[in-house]
Copies of this chain bind each other. A is one copy, B any other.
């Protein structure tokens, strides 16, 4: 029987491992297995591989290698950036109660849940408004910044709706506050979705802490890294050996680190061409969806301020949780929201926040394109959706 090929449209959740990354990992998986902290020849070779990977990442983001810390993924990178900064200040004598942190209501759980933990410790966490496109309200940010603000954290590009924040402009607001208060206000940028689609140079972003996840940019899962600025200091959040300059103990995952650096460099090397190609498919795809499917609401913004591979729609009144199952049966892998936000149903906090509309928030579909996605894939998906919609109409009052 003829079996339709699968169409993977969940690139925001996971990406295939780059062949070059796998080739680079292979010797460290199969042949050279020594501990990178060991002092014999095998250990030194592993150490050199880790440091070469660090240099490769540093070279891409344009920082000195010592400002790159390898961790176990984007979640840990965000957690280290957030808790590491606060705990360092705590160790310096500041109380939790004297610190304020600002974030948005549309962040990834690795920021949102970490913020809840900070709150429980006594840190005051403030939520800056975002507009209906998911963009941070600069004036509101300005009004929230205070002498006690130590950190502002948000995603470079939102993982659900793809909205790209104007990082430099937001940083300027923070710079002004720093000047007027004579304080340091660190910027933590969750850049998990960025490497394949956005400029990631630290000097361009002017962020103090930039969190990356290798598994989201054709690297291996279980590896991430945090890029820090010269002026930020961190306390560790895990305790043990002195690996990663004392910031991240544990035997280095040499193969993973090597694969992460290769994938990240590849992702950044030609991201502009990738963006050009994929954003054209995205824009045409959004139009096709609106043309074919009834009542499509586009969540987020349009144009250059949207991740090149992100389509996020609501189909008010439709059970999109079940629609993903129907699409799956027809060969399409999509999601309703971020995989980390829980596959088990419920509304999208992101769409609820930007729309204020619970109906939109419970009928979301995130269609995240790969560089290979063709417009015809989205057209076929739209037809399946349309048929599902009509089927539901004939069965219910929808």
Contact = CB atoms under 8 A, between A and B. Distances in A.
Nearest to A253: B222
A33 to B, nearest CB: 5
A247 B151 CA distance: 26
Contact of A221 (B6, B237, B253, B328): B253
B328 A241 contact: no
Contacts of A38: 10, 13-14, 333, 335, 339, 343
A76 B250 CA distance: 8
A199 interface: no
B78 A240 contact: yes
A223 interface: yes
A342 B220 contact: no
Interface string A339-368: 111110000000000000000000000000
A74 interface: yes
A333 B250 contact: no
Interface in A228-285: 237-243, 249-256
Q: How large is the interface on A (under 10, 10 to 19, 20 to 34, 35 or more residues)?
A: 35 or more
Nearest to A246: B113
B328 A40 contact: yes
A252 B110 contact: no
A338 B333 CA distance: 46
Number of copies: 2
A318 to B, nearest CB: 16
Interface stretch (A15-23, A165-173, A384-392): A15-23
Contacts of A242: 109, 340, 342
Interface in A48-97: 72-76, 78-79
A342 B242 CA distance: 7
A383 interface: no
Nearest to A83: B239
A108 interface: yes
A240 B113 contact: yes
B75 A240 contact: yes
A156 interface: no
B34 A333 contact: yes
A110 B13 contact: no
A42 B113 contact: no
A8 interface: yes
A363 B108 CA distance: 50
A395 interface: no
B249 A109 contact: yes
Given A75-B249, A242-B342, 7 more contacts: A14-B35, A39-B328, A40-B327, A40-B333, A72-B73, A78-B240, A109-B240
24 contacts: A13-B34, A14-B34, A14-B251, A15-B33, A16-B33, A17-B29, A22-B29, A38-B339, A39-B335, A42-B333, A72-B76, A72-B222, A73-B250, A73-B251, A75-B240, A76-B250, A109-B240, A221-B252, A221-B253, A222-B223, A241-B340, A241-B341, A242-B340, A250-B340
